[in-house]
Amino acid sequence: MIGRALLLFVLTLGATAPAVAAGRTARLVLIATGGTIANDPHGRLSADELVEQLPGRASLGQITTESFANASSTALSLDDWSRLSRHVTSILTATDAPDGVVVTSGTDTLEELAWFLHLTVPGPRPVVVVGAMRRPGTLGEDGPRNLADALRVAAAAVSRDRGTLVVMHGQVHSAWSVRKHHTTSLSAFDEAGGVSAGAVTAGRVTYRPSAVVRPAPGLLQIATDVTLPRVDILETYQGADGDLIEAAAGAGAAGIVIAGAGAGSLTPSQATAARRIARAGIPVVVASRTGDGLVGPVGGEDVGLVSAGALSPLRARLLLILALARQTPIEEIGRLFASVSAANSGLRPIAGGRSR
C-alpha cells in the first residue's frame, strides 16, 4: 500500500569519487534528446557528435551513444518521457547494464524531466540529466564541460543509490530540489535552500555529507500500457476566480494542482471550487508559488483536497500524474504526497501497476 513514509537515504559519502572500481573503465550510455546543448548554428548535433567534441573523451569511459530525439525540451510530450523512462529502465536492469546513463536535454523543462525519471527509473545506477545554456560554437558555450562533468558523475562510485541527478555548471543537483531560477545565466540551476548536493571540481566528483535522496528511485514505475492523464496547474493571485478550476475539470483534467499564495492560500472562490471538484472525485493538490517551504494540511474532511507539502507545483503535478496513471485511490493520494514530502520515510518502490 502506498502510504506512511518513504525511503530516505541519508548519505554520508563526502570523499572524492573514484570512477567505478580501480583499474576498470566505466561503461556509460549517453542518450541525446536535443536542446540547446545540441543546437549548433549549422544543424543539430547527434549524440555521436556531442561526444566527439569532448576533449580527452577517452578518459571519460567507454561511451555508447543513442539519439532518442533532437528537439527543444518543450517539444517532447509526456508519452515521449514515458518511452524514455522505460528505455532507460531497460538499459539499467539488463544483465550487462552499464555503470550509468546520461541524458541530454533542453534546460527549460530539465528539472521536470529529472524528477520524472527519478520517480520512474529504479535501481542503484545513476541517471544524470544535463544540458547547456549556450549554443555550440558561441562565445562561452558550456555544453562540452557540462557533458564531460555529467559523464564523470555517472561513472563515479559515490553516485550510486542517488537516483536521478542533474549536472550543470560544475554543480551536482538532486532531482528532489533542483530548479531553473534564471532565464539565461550559466549558473541558472540551483536547489531550494541554495546548497547543491555535490560538485565536480578538476574532474573529481564530491557530495555533501548531508545530501539526501528522496524518494526512493523508481517509486512509481510506468507500465508499458499506461496512458498518462492530464493534470493542470493553476495559480492563486489577487481576485483569482474558481471558474478556471471548474473549466480545467470540464476540459478533461483528471487532477489539478494549484500554486497557492504563501503557504498554500487560495481565494474564497478558488477554495469553494476546489472542494467541489475534490468531492466529485478529481484530486486537487495545493502547493506554494513561493518556491520554497512547506504547505500544511489543507483538506480537512475532503480527502481529495491534498497538500503538496514541500513539493513545488511542477513536481506535485508529475507525482499526481503518475499516481493517477496507477489508478491510485483518491484517499491514498494524500498519504502518498505526505510520504514523499516526509523527511523520515520508508516507502519502497512498487512495480508498474495499480497501487495497493
Domain 9-213 matches domain 231-341 at the CATH topology level: yes
In terms of residues, how long is the chain? 356
Cβ pair 259, 311 in contact under 8 A: no
pLDDT for 219 equals 95
pLDDT for 214 equals 80
| Residue whose entry in the numeric block shows the C-alpha cell 560554437 | 137
Let me know if 36 is a catalytic residue: yes
Domain regions of the chain by residue span: 9-213, 231-341
pLDDT for 347 equals 44
Which CATH number applies to 9-213? 3.40.50.1170
pTM: 0.90
State the catalytic residue, choosing from 33, 36, 104, 164.
36
CA angle 146, 73, 220 (to 5 degrees): 95
pLDDT for 12 equals 34
pLDDT for 3 equals 41
Give the Cβ contact number of residue 354 at 10 Å: 11
Euclidean distance between CA atoms 314 and 257, whole angstroms: 9
pLDDT for 192 equals 81
pLDDT tens for each residue of 211-267: 778 899 999 999 888 999 999 999 999 999 999 999 999 999 999 999 999 999 999
Give the Cβ contact number of residue 287 at 10 Å: 27
Low-confidence stretches of the chain (pLDDT < 50) are 1-18, 343-356
Q: Domain 231-341 adopts which CATH fold?
A: Rossmann fold (3.40.50)
pLDDT for 302 equals 78
